[in-house]
Chains A and B, each alone.
Chain A
């Protein structure tokens, strides 16, 4: 199995993984969740969002939820159906290790005292 090239994990991709950590979401909800979790600093545009989603799908870090029958019948054509995404085990694992990496980084930053009491 080829080795995945996920180092470093792009910021947007990591944010998407985090957004999906709680629940499965569709594109717009992901965008809003990322906005919320970064205090409005990161608003993913459609291109960036779906480009990242595609990369994450390819890497097996997220997956598309099977369409539910009721949503299918609700809409007249497939065009309007929202696609929901959720984390895979691999995605969750990667998010955890990325979080740990950041925690380590932060620990170093603290040790070097570059944050000068700004950190919690």
Chain B
């Protein structure tokens, strides 16, 4: 009975909508009928349906016809609010007005009343809540091996299936923290302690002594003047101090970070067990080389979801590159790559040059290690066109790969601007919840004053990362057809 009635109501929707989603809507209704038994749940169900019909029927009629026709092809723009100026009936306009008022009210009310609930529940579960965990691991790892790694432990974690749900670009992690932090308010004493410790750490470790003294004095002065008195929110406080340090030096690798979860006091040396686990995981995950294949047109395609430790995964890397060796162009897919070990980044890059090339690493001084080990024996890829696919989730070491290849004009970046994390500062723990990133060496960046820290690496061809592979494939094919396959040196 109920079902028939709802089926009748469904007829109020435009035919196209019924065709596309009628069955699904009916099914949803049946599911709810089944789950919500009893007088009040049923009453609520019908109340929901009445509200739903009032809102969504006019909306569907107001949807532009062209948009309706192409609804099922996801590549087509635009979407939500473009209404064509075709003549409308008065009734449609009226109901449209009512719907608009209602919808605006709902959005507004929802924004205010649910921001808290959304933050607490969902960010911690899906979007960025785990953001600070890899952060800690990553930083801790850096601490224990003097800043040599891009946090392989973190990238392992992400490559084991969380890659898509971890978005810990620094800013988003911070925002999420800001929303889920439970009563993380600072008092005077804590602020004083953090500032005092921060100035000491800066003087002790920052690469430029004079700038360190300037920053330390400035922070202490701010503190004495009471500039932090109203900054009770831990995340905001960390952000403010970070900004103040950067304002003085312009060094975006400096940061004061807040961690909701306590930062372990001392990093034990990596136990053998952990290394064994890492090896086992890498074996199981094929060293995060998700796909190595030759696409139509003899275009090599390598999807790497991290830059794993060279000591563990070198053989896999070599094998992957060997598979691609006879390709006419190569696409590196780093859209899900969360970084890893700089040594692996540099090892992979070596294949793309026929002579040693200066390889900028924000964490190292200029040494012989800053050059790629090119040429690689037997390698045929040094002069082949290279495309790198990026997304906003491309992170840390993966961004180094993008940045350097872009600066060297050795690759075409296709996709989205990357996350903007370099972890170039060495981590120094201040207390359970605060730590600092302080650069201890001055890496020579021959390309630009700022690297990708904060801003990310902008692609050469900006497309949705979802479409990046298609576009890169097309670009590569066009280029190969036009006979410009061989790169000039």
Write the residues of chain A forming the contact surface with B, with a CB cutoff of 8 angstroms. 1-6, 8, 10-13, 15, 18, 21-22, 27-28, 31, 36-39, 41-51, 53-60, 62-64, 79-80, 82-83, 87-90, 92-93, 95-96, 99-100, 102-107, 110-111, 119-120
B165 within 8 A of A: yes
Chain B residues within 8 Å of A49, by CB: 25, 28
Main secondary structure of the interface of A (DSSP, over half): helix
Interface centre among B74, B120, B125 (most CB of A within 10 A): B74
Show 16 residue pairs from A and B whose CB-CB distance is below 8 angstroms, ordered by the A residue. A5-B82, A11-B111, A28-B28, A38-B114, A45-B53, A47-B13, A47-B60, A49-B28, A51-B60, A57-B72, A60-B75, A64-B72, A88-B464, A99-B128, A102-B179, A106-B119
B447 at interface by CB-CB < 8 Å: no
CA gap between A59 and B181 in the complex, in Å:
33
| A96 / chain B contacts, CB cutoff of 8 Å | 127-128, 167, 169, 172, 392
For chain B, what secondary structure do more than half of its interface residues adopt (helix, strand, loop), or is it mixed? helix
Interface centre among A15, A46, A92, A93 (most CB of B within 10 A): A46
A89, closest chain B residue (CB):
B465
B17 within 8 Å of A (CB atoms): yes
Question: Which residues between 72 and 93 of chain B lie within 8 Å of chain A, taking CB atoms?
Answer: 72, 74-82
Q: For residue A120, which residues in chain B have a CB less than 8 angstroms away from its CB? A: 116, 120, 180-183
- Expressed in whole angstroms, the minimum distance between the Cβ of B6 and any Cβ of chain A is 9
Instruction: Report yes or no: B79 in contact with A6, Cβ–Cβ below 8 A.
Output: yes
Closest A residue to B23 by CB, please name it.
Answer: A79
Q: Which of B21, B71, B175 contacts A58 (CB 8 A)?
A: B71
Contact between chains at A37 and B119 (CB < 8 Å): no
Q: Are B122 and A6 in contact (CB under 8 A)?
A: no
How distant is the Cα of A21 from the Cα of B167 in the complex, in angstroms? 11
CA distance A8 to B82 in the complex (A): 13
Give, as a whole number of angstroms, the nearest-CB distance from B105 to chain A: 10
CB-nearest residue of chain B to A33 = B122
Q: Is the CB of B464 within 8 A of A60?
A: yes
A107 touches B236 (CB 8 A): yes
Bound together, the chains give a CA A2 to CA B416 distance in angstroms of 16
CA distance in complex: A22, B13 (Å): 31
Residue of A39, A50, A90 touching B21 (CB-CB under 8 A): A50
Distance in Å from the Cβ of A21 to the closest Cβ of chain B?
A: 3
If the complex has contacts A37-B118, A103-B178, A120-B183, are A47 and B56 also in contact, measured as CB distance less than 8 A? yes
Query: Is there contact, CB below 8 Å, between B128 and A58?
Result: no
- For A45, give its contact among B48, B60, B171 (CB under 8 Å): B48
Say yes or no: A54 contacts B56, CB within 8 Å: no
A42 touching B114, Cβ below 8 Å: yes
A37→B81 contact, CB < 8 A: no
CB contact list, B18-32 vs A, under 8 A:
20-21, 23-29, 31-32
Shortest C-beta distance, A109 to chain B (Å), equals 8
Contacts of A64 in B (CB 8 A): 72, 74
Identify the interface centre among A1, A15, A79, A92: most chain B CB within 10 Å of its CB: A92
* Chain A: CB-nearest residue to B184: A120
Contacts of A47 in B (CB 8 A): 13, 25, 52-53, 55-57, 60
1/0 per position for B149-192, CB-CB distance to A under 8 A?
00000000000000011010101100110111111000000000
Whether the pair A41, B113 counts as a contact (CB closer than 8 A) is yes
The closest CB in chain A to the CB of B9 belongs to A47
Instruction: Kindly identify which residue among B21, B75, B78, B165 contacts A3, using a CB–CB cutoff of 8 Å.
Output: B78
Q: A11-B106, A22-B165, A43-B48 are in contact. Are A99 and B79 (CB under 8 A)?
A: no
Please give, as numbers and ranges, the residues of chain A lying within 8 Å of B103 by CB-CB distance: 10
Residue of B nearest to A59 (CB): B79
For residue B30, which residue of chain A has the nearest CB? A28
Bound complex: CA A100 to CA B181 (Å): 15
**Given A27-B27, A45-B56 in contact, is the A8-B107 Cβ separation under 8 Å?**
yes
Q: Does B98 contact A (CB under 8 A)?
A: no
Q: Is B126 an interface residue (CB 8 A)?
A: yes
* Minimum C-beta distance from B227 to chain A (A): 15
Within 8 Å CB of A51, what residues of B? Answer: 17, 56, 59-60, 63
Name the contact of A60 in the complex, choosing from B53, B110, B233, B466 (C-beta under 8 A): B466
Q: How far is the CB of B420 from chain A (nearest CB, A)?
A: 13
Inter-subunit contact A88/B127 (CB<8 Å): no
